[in-house]
Structure 1
């Protein structure tokens, strides 16, 4: 397959994002937030809203910039390079895509709030140790004209501070997706910083009331709304992980050009040159897969599953290789908290698990290819 490359508009968007993020969200910002016991930066989110990033997938009639999934992936990739601590994936990508599947005044109003940065979302879907939407056990029992939600969700990324929750529940005839405020009576959140210093929560639902208006889409037909949102999130997460790999690679190459052993720059050692070249090739091929996934979501979303799962599987593998090589080539300093490579390693680990790990997506690719 020929290598896919960014077009002129995508290059301009990436350059603009890079200039902003290097100044507004460098790695030192994440370290400072972690040391202060914080998991996100509301001020940064506000700035992103002012730049139109929060509305990247919001229609123009709802106040968004509607740049498309390929553009969302470009932004996510640049955010991955500095590990910008924002709810971009959960809100601007996943929630916005889900809401776009529903033609209602309420959905349009919610999209407007995402675009102007005044509301954040979290996706409450996982319950077990692995991503598996079809095995949801949280129940939504009929209660008059509405429902009562009972159960527990785990690994709800951004769930500790999100204003609203997209909750996947089991109803009598299948699965139903609900859009409810995170502070509704009966909801209790136990937020815990993850190893990458970001927020995740375990959320309990104790007979939480939900009306028919809280249903996003149709009862018993959650995947009609949720599947496009999941694939959008998986593609953007893969892009973030590709940016992460590029950031770790750049840090490693910079070190190879500075560190001396035996009076020589270690970057002159052929063995390290070969390892760096091999990693660069992997990063480039994975970046092509990400571009392809984003463009498929824009041009033919019904046929994008293979491209998205291929991108997520490759991104998880490439990011893991990038941080492992980075730590090894830095030697002992690579394992210390004082050095930033550890932030890339921890984010790579979390990203590999969220929205389906390598095994999950490799299985999807194998199935779609007839194996």
Structure 2
């Protein structure tokens, strides 16, 4: 159940996204070569969403994780293409943990919706959590490569995780700097991710935002929060797609009867509804465990696995019930399916998280990843 603050945020999100969001907005951003709507992101800032995890001293509201998850769920329901999880959850967690002047400047711009920020940490595909980084920062020079950097668009601010002689570091890197090579790729939902190579990129001392144990802890926290937020977004998507499909079943006729009149189809929809409700309970349980700071790993992996699976299953049945119409570009259902495909595999697919949950349970490991 939402508390009063969460309900206020939910009402705000439904009011704005109901008018300015939804399928039409998703199509607009998908068809834009930048894959990003700066005006929409600025509106997120004006509403206080981009600073929900940032301290008040930096222009944020520091409302905490649960309000951020409420927003993520509503963005899933309207398949909002804005990089809320990548920027306002993952990157914001890192910026809030740093006292460096560069972090302060970026956090203030993020809170106001003037900039989006992305975090590059993956070095190979299909790996959960933060690896031992081969990308290395030494003597003021960064060398290495990252894959699948999310929320990519021209003008995005870039944070990079790397190894160093003092342990892991989080750096701020100008994507236009000499030695930085970016290969952007459009994803199924129309957004962009990037593979980035760093060839002896020279950085100043002010580029280091976090280092050592502080960097490791912030990275773990950021990825854990991001995984739970993405799970909430997936559950929101699945719930909206269920309602869209249920409404369509009342209108579509076959053999002289509405689809909703067929008992077998109704039973399947009930099963899907139960799966989505369990998915909602799973990410809420993960959020509680993460805030408590203990036993979170199993809950987080389980939530991402369950919510991803719910979105994938609902997508398959939505296409089944909509028939050939569901495959057309004009059908909104296709936009939801494409978003589900992208979101359910980012930060780990269901099978990977089920394996990780089992391993974490057996080892008693409470850290995410």
TM-score norm. by structure 2 comes to 0.92
Counterpart Cα distance in 2 of 1:310 and 1:228: 17
Counterpart Cα distance in 2 of 1:290 and 1:344: 20
1:304 pairs with 276, 296, 299, which one?
296
2:50 pairs with 51, 54, 64, which one?
54
Change (3 A) 1:345 1:136: farther
- Counterpart of 1:193? 186
Change (3 A) 1:53 1:272: same
- Counterpart of 1:261? 254
Deviations along 1:135-178, one digit per CA (max 9) or x if unpaired, are: 532232x22xx2x1122222111233353212122334643322
2:244 pairs with 248, 251, 257, which one?
251
- Counterpart of 1:112? 108
1:289 corresponds to 2:285: no
Counterpart Cα distance in 1 of 2:124 and 2:174: 23
1:138 corresponds to 2:135: yes
- Counterpart of 1:240? 233
- Counterpart of 1:123? 119
Contact 1:186 1:208 in 2 (8 A): yes
Contact 1:77 1:243 in 2 (8 A): yes
Tell me the SS of whatever aligns to 1:128. coil
TM-aligned CA deviation for residue 104 of structure 1: 4.2
TM-score norm. by structure 1 comes to 0.91
Deviates more, 1:158-167 or 1:229-238: 158-167
Q: Which runs of 5+ in 2 are unaligned?
A: 364-369
Change (3 A) 1:362 1:211: farther
Contact 2:143 2:198 in 1 (8 A): yes
- Counterpart of 1:361? 353
- Counterpart of 1:74? 70
Tell me the SS of whatever aligns to 2:301. helix
Contact 2:179 2:199 in 1 (8 A): yes
- Counterpart of 2:17? 21
1:209 pairs with 202, 227, 234, which one?
202
TM-aligned CA deviation for residue 302 of structure 1: 5.0
Contact 1:173 1:220 in 2 (8 A): no
Contact 1:160 1:189 in 2 (8 A): no
Change (3 A) 1:38 1:258: farther
TM-aligned CA deviation for residue 106 of structure 1: 4.1
Q: Which runs of 5+ in 1 are unaligned?
A: none
2:29 pairs with 25, 30, 33, which one?
33
Counterpart Cα distance in 2 of 1:365 and 1:190: 33
Counterpart Cα distance in 2 of 1:207 and 1:59: 34
Deviations along 1:74-100, one digit per CA (max 9) or x if unpaired, are: 101111111112121111111111122
Size of the alignment, in residue pairs? 362
Deviations along 1:45-67, one digit per CA (max 9) or x if unpaired, are: 01110010011101112211111
Contact 1:57 1:92 in 2 (8 A): yes
1:156 pairs with 146, 149, 164, which one?
149
